[in-house]
Amino acid sequence: MKKFAILTSVLTLTACGGGAGGGENTPSAIVAPTDILTQEQRAAAIASNSQITNMDSFIVVGGSNPTINSNARAATTGIQQSDGGIRYDLQDVEFKTASMAMNTGVDDRAIIRFETKDGKIDKVKITLEGIDDVGSDIDMNIVGERRGDTNVFADGLLSFKENGIEQAQNLPNEDFGLLYSSKAKDNNQNLHYADWGVVQWGDVGNWDTSNYFAGGYDVKRTDKDNYAHMNELAHNATGGKLTFSGRADGVVRVGDMSDDADPLYIEGVNKLSLSTNATLEFADGTSTLTANFDNWYDVSVTMDNTGNLTNLVFANGDKVDNNSNPIIDDTFKWGRDGISLNEYIAEETKNVQIEDPNFVCSSGNCSDSIIRDGFVEYYGDSGNPAEAVGVIRYGDTFKHEGGAMRFDMGFGGTRD
């Protein structure tokens, strides 16, 4: 069974051969402290970046006069200023997808970064590392160059290594690229330090690969090595918890699998789009995300004090409308043709907890033939979380004989 899914569009591009491409994981070189933008350049950068994301284009951490320094261009790891402040821009942001591999594997998440030029988002880069079906180490980079002030990044450049040996490098291909879609922007969410949404890549205008992402300015993460402080805030808050309200968007894919019973590959896909208001609660080091979709299951996700998924519940699959007709088509229910989910679980995946029509997957207590991953991250000033974003992915092969169903979801919200 394939552990790591190299996507079909990427393999097609790899097979073409070509010239130079790829690069190191660091998105750009450190910029000298004297590289200062004019107010006009800064304004132009903010206007251009706002076409892609609502995130702040420039931030300064610390220092005695951040207002004066906020027009300075950032470096990859931040530039210290004369007053002690550190300045950053959008090239210092890191996003992640859910795992691109079978089973759990936080190391198999794709990393997404911007590159900036004069403060403007200029390129986007996706780095993907993992293990393929024969145990080889895979290292892949895709870089796309921004088209004007749009969210399309074309002239795709690919670098692909296997066990450290370069397998293919390609000259920019104008027909191959990436599309960055901010759900925070689409939902008019006022997120300053974080973003979430969907990144797609493949042939420009005919994107064949789609993944939810989430992330933000690492220097504004409040949960990283700081759960004691967040727990204290929660204990002192009303109800003993921190609550974040926002949106959850998702998609369910059902289809025949094209390669080795791997839910990451689904052909002939039936899709169901999902969108609803959602709530995230933090208490005692645990994050619980709830999204009750009108047209699908009620979804509840629990994550531990590392921010990673530990429990996933799909409930109320027997929803009916005002005329007592089922709301969820059997096509998009967990189960198998002709066999109830309970019967199937009892037959072949006895370790999965199940209470039909609810489906529960706990960490270390699921069938082997699945994808399961998820995380949530918190952002804010001075260690006080004000924004939260995350992604969830779950897929399994027991939907149909020789087929699979996969659920992907992203979330973003602000503290109540």
pLDDT recorded at residue 188: 95
Q: How far apart are CA 392 and CA 372, in angstroms?
A: 8
Calculate Rg over the CA atoms of the chain.
Answer: 22
Structure-model confidence comparison of residues 400 and 222, the more confident one:
222
Enter the tokens of residue 338: 């002709």
Q: What is the pLDDT of residue 209?
A: 77
Closest CA relative to residue 387, chosen from 378, 399, 374 = 378
Q: Are 250 and 390 in contact (CB under 8 A)?
A: no
Q: Which band of pLDDT confidence, cut at 50, 70 and 90, is reported for residue 106?
A: very low
Q: Where residue 136 falls among pLDDT bands split at 50, 70, 90? A: low
Ranges of each domain in the chain: 8-215, 221-415
Q: Does domain 221-415 fall into CATH 1.10.10?
A: no
The band of 263, judged by pLDDT with boundaries at 50, 70 and 90, is: low
Would you call 413 helix, strand, or coil by DSSP?
A: strand
What is the C-alpha separation between 406 and 319, in angstroms, rounded? 20
Confidence (pLDDT) at 343:
44
Whether the model pTM is above 0.75 = yes
Average pLDDT over residues 343-353: 39
The average pLDDT across 195-201 equals: 93
Structure token digits, residue 64: 């005695």
pLDDT at 408 exceeding the cut of 70: yes
Side-chain-facing half-sphere of 16: CA atoms under 13 Å: 21
Say if CB 393 and CB 371 are below 8 A apart: yes
Mean pLDDT along residues 2-22: 38
Cα–Cα distance for residue pair 7/90, rounded to 1 Å: 27
Give me the percent of the chain exceeding a pLDDT of 70.
67
What would the DSSP string read from start to end of 100-111?
Answer: SBSB--GGGEEE
**DSSP secondary structure of 199-223:** EEEEETTEEEEEEEEEEEEGGGBSS
pLDDT tens digits for range 215-235: 999 999 998 767 788 999 999
Task: Write the Ramachandran bin of 166: left for phi over 0, alpha for psi from -120 to 50, otherwise beta.
Answer: beta
Find the mean pLDDT for residues 94-123: 82
Please state which of the ranges 29-43, 71-85, 273-287, 342-356 shows the lowest mean pLDDT: 342-356
User: Can you give the pLDDT at residue 68?
Assistant: 39
Q: In terms of Cα–Cα distance, which of 5, 11, 8 is closest to 262?
A: 5
* Amino acid at residue number 93: V
Q: Which residues pair with 272 in a beta bridge?
A: 252
Taken in order 131, 134, 139, 144, the sign of the CA dihedral is: negative
Helix, strand, or coil here: 304?
A: coil
pLDDT, tens digit, for every residue of 149-161?
999 998 877 777 7
286: exposed, middle or buried (Cβ count in 10 Å: 0-12, 13-18, 19+): middle
Q: At residue 65, does pLDDT exceed 60?
A: no
Distance in angstroms (rounded) separating the CA atoms of residues 202 and 126: 12
Q: What is the pLDDT of residues 280-323, one digit of tens each?
A: 999 998 999 999 999 998 998 888 877 788 888 888 888 889 99
